[in-house]
Amino acid sequence: MWCDRVAWQRVGGLLGFVLTSVVAITPAAVEAENEVSSAEVPVALARSTDKGAVACVSPAAAEVGRAILQRGGNAVDAAVAVAFALAVSWPEAGNIGGGGFMLVAPPGQAVTCFEFRETAPRAASVDLLADGSVTAWDVRAAGVPGTVRGLALAHARFGTLPWRELIAPAIDLAERGVLVNAALARSLNRVLEDKRTTQPEFRRLFQAPNGRRWQEGDRLVQRDLARTLLRIAQDGPDAFYTGSIAQLIVQEMRRSGGLITADDLKAYRPQERVPIAIRYRDCEVYAPPPPSSGGITLALMLQMLEALDWKSQGRWSAETYHYLIEVMRRAYADRARHLGDPDFTRIPPHLTSKEYARRLAAGIRRDKATPSAEVAPDLEIRPEGESTTHFSIIDRNGLAVSTTYTLENSYGCRMAVGGAGFILNNEMTDFNPRPGITTVGGLIGTPPNQIAPGKRMLSSMTPTIVRQRGQTVLITGSPGGRTIINTVLCVLLNHLDFGMSAEQSVAAPRLHHQWLPDMARLEPLPPGHDELPAQLRRKGHHLVFGRQGDAHSIFVDPQTGRRTVVADRRIDGAIGIE
Ligand code: DON
């Protein structure tokens, strides 16, 4: 069971089990970012090993991580190298102009969280986004980037190889060019064909040769980015925050009307934080604390589930789906009500208590959906972006790293820093846009996540590590905005509660509910469960269908220590083994 190679696959409208192999399976083209067609193929690719391993979205970055592990680097060294490599090879989400969260689990020691979420520039006022004139594609949507100092902090705490050696492969990739595969070609063509991509510098950097569309087999060369990475390699992270790259960022702000100043960059500090630890069944689940909402929302959901008899009818029953949706609805309402940057807002401690989760769970009706308006009639939330990336790494000694980082939307605000070759995030749109205004149209105006100078915007990124008796058994996480937390929940439950294999746990259809809009989103169901949507509708649930997440994960057998490395193939996915 542990190493089997079975994953869900849907071909031509038929769902069926198929045998997958270590040879890449090409998923059906997924043109729209999140819609699913009847030919959708949620599959995963798995390999089993006793060695160090990497699972991530990009083949070039997986190879960089593999090579670092093989040279004797540990998992944090590999994570730093993979993060820089993804900034070159997966530019829609890999970044140096954004931010994220990295969980590190050193064997025999406490799990820790490096938080490098962006901050609001000092010039950002509470109503920056209020009148709608600052869109997601405006340079004023950029927060102060955290990635470079965040990676440097993790490296200073745990790294063993020299900093510059970890950036060298990314420089090489940028200079020689990344081999464009189908997923990268699709991603680049999509952003270039979008009329909202207006900055000439962005187009200059990412245009395909001779003005045609990108094709598999092309090379994406990024010489400006190579120069920027070389400066970071040679001069350290301060090159980005106080040195020549900071100057280029400030020049770009002047040119395009942005808010980030030299003082904002100089003042940026990543944090090392204590993760949220959740006791679930016989495991400890670790996930990021605020300013990520991931850990607390996951704690609410897992602890509500522990208080319910929710799975006796099996994984694909309407009853199980119903309970999951109800649990998600309640946890996400509390997320919206209470969570924000802990340096600016008080996070109520009861949110992670088992007693509070039991009380919430007691309000769930067995046969009937609770309308979201009834759960928290005074609050409402708005949609958010869909591009981020997650990678999981373990080294031969069992040091585990789970990292999710992002530019917020695909290619961030689609503004590159002139002469520096990298893109800026549009993370400011993760703040609540209109203070005090909560509407049925989806705005939330509650204070915890309103803009303030220097404040971190609330995130859903949930890089997660599960331990059993102190030993890492699972490393996972995903992109997908607010769906991230539910993708992680699905992977955990598939494995811990339903005993699915590593590969099935990642491939199996997921579901999402985020309180508002009052709508559950389902991935296409396994064979023989066509009646499930109708059963859920009869209970009062509103349904849509869509693809969800991209959860590159590593599972460790607690008995043998053997690792099963799983690349999710919903977008693209690759495995590197030492
Ligand atoms: O931090 C967050 O929660 C969002 N900025 C993440 C955006 C995202 O995941 C988009 N991804 N696919």
CA of 389 to the centre of ligand 1 (A): 9
Determine the average pLDDT of the residues in 45-64: 98
Q: What sign does the dihedral 102-55-285-426 (CA atoms) show?
A: positive
Q: What is residue 6's predicted lDDT score, i.e. its pLDDT?
A: 29
Rounded to two decimals, what is the model's pTM? 0.93
Q: What is the pLDDT of residue 188?
A: 98
CATH number at residue 468: 1.10.246.130
Q: Domain range for residue 320? A: 278-386+461-474+481-553
Cα of 488 from ligand 1 centre, angstroms: 14
- The answer to whether residue 186 sits within a structural domain is no
Task: Map 308-342 to HEC letters.
Answer: CCCCCCCCCCHHHHHHHHHHHHHHHHHHHHHCCCC
> What is the mean predicted confidence (pLDDT) over 92-98?
98
Model pLDDT for residues 128-154, shown as the tens digit of each residue: 999 889 999 999 999 999 999 999 999
**DSSP states along 84-151:** HHHHHH-TTT--SSSEEEEEEE-TTS--EEEEE--B--TT--TTTTTTS-S-TTSGGGPPBP-HHHHH
> Active site includes 388?
yes
> 423-455, pLDDT tens digit by residue?
999 999 999 888 877 655 456 778 899 999 999
Q: Residue with structure tokens 């759960």?
A: 375
| Confidence band for 40, pLDDT divided at 50, 70 and 90 | low
Mean pLDDT within 199-217 = 96
- The pLDDT of residue 433 is 86
- Quote the pLDDT of residue 34: 44
Residues enclosing ligand 1, CB less than 6 A?
385-388, 406, 408, 427, 430, 459-461, 479-481, 484
The mean pLDDT value of the chain amounts to: 90
- pLDDT over 60 (residue 11): no
Does residue 485 lie in a domain region?
Answer: yes
Q: What is the pLDDT of residue 437?
A: 72
pLDDT at 468 over 80: yes
Tell me the best of 119, 478, 484 to mutate to test the pocket of ligand 1, counting ligand atoms within 8 Å of each CB and taking the most: 484
Asked, for residue 511, whether it belongs to a domain, the answer is yes
Mean pLDDT of 303-320: 97
Has residue 248 been placed in a domain? no
Atom of ligand 1 nearest to the CA of 293: 3
Please report, for residues 104, 116, 118, 290, the alpha-carbon distance to residue 274 in angstroms, rounded to integers and kept in the order given.
Answer: 11, 14, 18, 10
Residue 467 near residue 286 (C-beta atoms within 8 A): yes
From the candidates 388, 389, 438, 564, give the one annotated as an active-site residue.
Answer: 388
Cα 358 to ligand 1 centroid, rounded to whole Å: 29
136 part of a folded domain: no
The pLDDT of residue 440 is: 53
- CA–CA gap between residue 498 and residue 537 (Å, rounded): 24
- 327: in domain: yes
- Is residue 543 domain-resident? yes
Res 446: pLDDT: 80
Q: Kindly state whether residue 251 falls inside one of the protein's structural domains.
A: no
Atom of ligand 1 nearest to the CA of 427: 5
Count of structural domains within the chain: 1
